[in-house]
Chain A
Amino acid sequence: MARLVVLGGGVAGHTTATFAAKWLGKEHEVVVVTPNAKWNWIPSNIWVGVGEMSKEEVTFDLAPVYEKAGITFKQAKAVSINPEGKEGADKPFVTIEYTGQGKAGESEEVTYDYIVNATGPKLNFGATPGLGEGSQIGENTVSVCTADHAVHANQELRKIFEKAAKGEKQKILVGTGHGMCTCQGAAFEYIFNIEHEARKAGVRDNLEIKWISNESFLGDFGMGGLHMKVGGYVVSSRIFTESLFAERGVEYITGAHVSKVEKGKVDYELLDGSTGEEPFDFAMLIPPFAGVGLKAYNKAGEDITDTVFAPNGFMKVDADYTPKPYEEWKASDWPRKYQNPTYSNMFAAGIAFAPPHIISKPMKSANGTPINPTPPRTGMPSGIIGKAVAHSVCDLIQNGANAHLHEASMAEMGAACVASAGKGWMDGQAAAMTVYPVVPDYEKYPGTGRDTDYTFGEIGLAGHWIKHILHYLFIYKAKLKPGWTLIPE
């Protein structure tokens, strides 16, 4: 009997664990180590953040789902990995610290045959002075990255709406809280959902809504831009987003690194090296992401964190990490198997793997401050990678160490972003943007590295419906209700 330990029960980890449990059956054990008792469909947190959904609607208890699937659930956070075991015991293990199940604070060593690191991001609020401490958000801004953050964001937003309803002018600032953030898509959805709610509440006239982001152009989204169909024509996401901002009366600052946050004000540096400040009454700024800070030790107990993890805390996998200038970036730099090069029974999926470099064009301000989006690894690639890794591990367990590993390169994956711009069955709006491949392949597609022939979808109500249906579909899938395997990642 072999044991697979999955660290993190988010999009990637949940996918890996549930598929592995299904494919491995009762003969082998799948363990999930994750600190929260509830699963959260993160993309719908946007709607929690504007009060259109409750926390309960976007989360559910993991224990009964894992019980049914025959997965061992440990509500704990992983602290360190010993891939070579320790003095006197060869079996590799992971040290975890319980956060619930009546054992909060207790430590345990969980041995494994295979391990998948799907711990997602550490929300690194501490990177920007005033944004927060470590992974804790500060008091100056709100966030929608977790369901609890989103609940709080909505409470603060309602206060702003109340003031605006009394005729007080209010300023809303939404975007990225650092020069090296990803996840612009989430902030983009949030700003337009706020705008939509403000119009519904009749307070739009008293709100000034502004976007601030590290993208070098509107619509970069950390992917160097996408494209979409508008009125039958293929249009760059830059043209489309600029039009949407103009149409909805939202101003923007691009190419910005937020350098400091204070109560009611941010300081920022721009690509041309100039600085500025922007006041606000309400700000939702996405923090930069880092790895969750797992440590690794060898058999002798020496720290080998640098061998297993990249400096940003994400796990090294089969990518080409040689530092290269922009002109030498290749699609083949990106990982295919997500296997750690040093320890072959160790994999990483979702945000937890270290990307070889960014996707957008690298940019630095005149003062040398990097101001460019870091690569997004959205829900879809996270799920697809999670499933491929589950496949590989199952084959390794069932067919032996020479089994063929499954591949899923982000340079061969398309992405479709259905971005919500307002919720409502009748007046909702969402934009469907596509990109293929996610990571540009300059050899196959000279110039942009992308195949712009591939598109689908337009902005409008239908887009919103799709987004809303996806919400139910994915929660249904994650709960492993009948037929869950038919629903794609």
Chain B
Amino acid sequence: MEQPLLKYPDPRIRLISGNVRFFNETLTDIIADMTDTMKANDLEALSAIQIGIQYNVIVLRENGTFTPYINARFIKEEGKAAAVERSTYYDFTAEVERYTSLTVVYEDETGQMHSRDARGDLARTFQHHLDYAYGSTFVDRVPLAVKKQIDAYLDQGLVKDNRVKGEESETCPTVFVRDYIKRAYRYGMLAVAVTFTLPLFANAEWVAWAVTIDKIAIPLVLALIMAYFFYAEYEAKKYKQCTSCQTGNILGTVAIGFVQWLALSAVFYFWMLPS
């Protein structure tokens, strides 16, 4: 049965697909739905995730026949060339560099392994569609500057959150509160750093005023870093199943923050205070 194609800004675009493990009726149904959707939309290739199914299945149409490529992997990639690609998700095109030749290793609908050499457009189609299966689009393959342009062009950015609404994970949060504290002390440090430029052009009165502000801001930043540490530790305990290395990461972040704070204080002491 034909299925609706995912369109931007559907967050499922960013889901990473799993390997197919069961070669059963469900898989046959998925392939049938994909084939129907391709016929209805006149598509040459389709990844399962494009109709919202989170499995690594690509169906290709060649000379009127539809062939499924399951759990595809590439080997022997060679040569590179740029060409314009269009995503079915977004309404724009971009030039993307891809391998011009590769071998696809894949399974058929019975789980039997095969391999096939692909060149030129065929190789490009495979690469384009396997990226979908890895929760990605050609936007991840373009230079950062182009990516930023695209991001600015899209009114909701490049789809940051791949969770479908209503499916909030109850075990591990996506955003930790500690990250807000981190952002706060970073902005604090940035603000203080900005005041350091004042002695270069502003008059003594302004500088004296900035010194007073800094005198409050610098201890405040330190207090925030400490608050970050304690809150983060609390959060790490609360969500300790989410990763085993949170404390290491927190200590690292605090250490970096502290070194930055020390540098900031040093500049304040040797540069701001005398001027």
Chain A interface residues toward B at CB < 8 A: 216-217, 224-225, 227, 230-236, 238-239, 243, 246, 252-256, 270-274, 326-327, 361, 363-364, 366, 380-381, 384, 412-416, 432, 434, 436, 442, 446-457, 462, 465-466, 469-470, 473, 487-489
Q: Which residues of B contact A225 (CB under 8 A)?
A: 16, 134
Q: Decide if B172 touches A462 in the complex (CB within 8 Å).
A: no
Chain B positions 16-59 with a Cβ under 8 Å from a chain A Cβ: 16-19, 21-22, 54-55
B115 within 8 A of A: yes
Q: Which residues of A contact B160 (CB under 8 A)?
A: 232-233
Q: How far is the CB of A416 from chain B (nearest CB, A)?
A: 4
Q: Decide if B134 touches A473 in the complex (CB within 8 Å).
A: no
Q: Which residues of B contact A457 (CB under 8 A)?
A: 249
Q: Decide if B17 touches A473 in the complex (CB within 8 Å).
A: no
Chain B positions 126-142 with a Cβ under 8 Å from a chain A Cβ: 131, 134-136, 140-141
Task: Give the interface size class of chain B.
Answer: 35 or more
Q: Which residues of A contact B105 (CB under 8 A)?
A: 216, 255, 271-272, 363
Residue of A nearest to B104 (CB): A272
Q: Decide if B242 touches A415 in the complex (CB within 8 Å).
A: no
Q: Decide if B15 touches A452 in the complex (CB within 8 Å).
A: yes
Known pairs A254-B75, A414-B242, A488-B245 / 8 extra A-B pairs, C-beta < 8 Å? A232-B160, A234-B162, A235-B135, A239-B131, A271-B105, A327-B21, A361-B71, A412-B241
Q: Most chain-A Cβ atoms within 10 A of its Cβ — which of B105, B169, B174?
A: B105
Q: Which residues of A contact B245 (CB under 8 A)?
A: 380, 414-416, 488
B152 within 8 A of A: no
Q: Mark B143-171, 1 if CB is under 8 A from A, else 0.
A: 01001000000000111101100000101
Q: How far is the CB of A417 from chain B (nearest CB, A)?
A: 9
Cα A416 to Cα B250 with chains together (Å): 13
Chain B interface residues toward A at CB < 8 A: 14-19, 21-22, 54-55, 71, 73-77, 97, 103, 105, 113, 115, 131, 134-136, 140-141, 144, 147, 157-160, 162-163, 169, 171-174, 241-249, 251-253, 255-256
Q: Which residues of B contact A455 (CB under 8 A)?
A: 174
Cα A253 to Cα B252 with chains together (Å): 34
Q: Which residues of A contact B246 (CB under 8 A)?
A: 456, 488
Q: Decide if B18 touches A449 in the complex (CB within 8 Å).
A: yes
Q: Most chain-B Cβ atoms within 10 A of its Cβ — which of A456, A465, A473?
A: A456
Q: How many A-B residue pairs have CB under 8 A?
A: 163
Q: Which residues of B contact A231 (CB under 8 A)?
A: 144, 147
Q: Decide if B22 touches A416 in the complex (CB within 8 Å).
A: no
Q: Can you list 24 A-B pairs, Cβ within 8 angstroms, ordered by A?
A: A227-B16, A239-B134, A252-B77, A253-B76, A270-B75, A271-B73, A271-B75, A272-B75, A272-B103, A272-B105, A274-B103, A326-B21, A413-B241, A414-B241, A414-B245, A415-B243, A415-B245, A416-B243, A436-B172, A454-B172, A462-B252, A466-B252, A487-B251, A488-B247
Q: Which residues of A contact B173 (CB under 8 A)?
A: 453
Residue of B nearest to A271 (CB): B105
Give the contacting residue for B18; candidates A217, A416, A447, A470; CB below 8 A.
A447
Q: How far is the CB of B51 from chain A (nearest CB, A)?
A: 14
Cα A366 to Cα B112 with chains together (Å): 10
Cα A396 to Cα B255 with chains together (Å): 38
Q: Most chain-A Cβ atoms within 10 A of its Cβ — which of B97, B158, B249?
A: B249
Q: Which residues of B contact A384 (CB under 8 A)?
A: 244
Q: Most chain-B Cβ atoms within 10 A of its Cβ — which of A366, A450, A454, A465?
A: A454
Q: Which residues of B contact A271 (CB under 8 A)?
A: 73, 75, 105, 115
Q: Which residues of A contact B174 (CB under 8 A)?
A: 453-455
Q: Which residues of A contact B18 (CB under 8 A)?
A: 442, 446-449
Q: Which residues of B contact A239 (CB under 8 A)?
A: 131, 134-136, 140-141
Residue of B nearest to A227 (CB): B16
Q: Decide if B134 touches A236 in the complex (CB within 8 Å).
A: yes
Give the contacting residue for A451; candidates B135, B140, B169; CB below 8 A.
B169
